[in-house]
Amino acid sequence: MDPDRLSRAIVDLVKLVERLRGPGGCPWDAEQTEATIKIYLLEEAYEVLEAIEKSSSPDVCLELGDLLFQVLFLARLAEERSEFDFIEIIEKITEKMIRRHPHVFGEVRVETAEDVAFNWAQIKRAEKGALQAASSLKSVPANLPALLRAHRLCERAFREGFDSLHVGAAGLAPPNTGQIWDRVQERFEKLRDALAEKDKDLVGEVMGDLLFDIAGLARVWRLNAEDVLRLANERFLERFEEMEKEQISCPGKRDHQPFDES
Contact status, residue 218 vs residue 225, Cβ threshold 8 Å = yes
Dist CA 259 CA 262 (whole Å): 9
Number of domains in the chain: 2
114 found inside a domain? no
pLDDT at 245: 81
What 3-state class would DSSP assign to 111?
A: coil
Q: Is residue 220 a contact partner of residue 175, using CB atoms and an 8 Å limit? A: yes
Based on the fold, state whether residues 230 and 145 are members of the same structural domain.
yes
Domain boundary among 71, 99, 127: 99
Output the pLDDT for position 196. Answer: 92
**Domain with 166 in it: what CATH number?**
1.10.287.1080
Residues 95 and 150 occupy one common structural domain: no
Query: What per-residue confidence (pLDDT) applies to 96?
Result: 92
Instruction: Determine whether 49 is exposed, middle or buried from the number of CB atoms within 10 Å of its CB (0-12, 13-18, 19+).
Output: middle
Co-location of 14 and 62 in the same domain? yes
Structural domain range at position 30: 3-99
Last residue of a domain, one of 99, 125, 143: 99
**Per-residue pLDDT for the chain (262 aa), expressed as one digit of tens each?**
899 999 999 999 999 999 999 999 999 999 999 999 988 888 899 899 889 988 889 999 999 999 999 999 999 999 999 999 999 999 999 999 999 999 999 888 888 887 887 787 778 778 776 445 445 677 777 777 887 888 878 777 776 666 545 443 333 344 566 777 888 888 899 999 999 999 899 999 999 988 888 888 888 888 888 888 888 888 888 888 888 888 777 766 555 555 555 4
Q: What is the DSSP letter of 223?
A: -
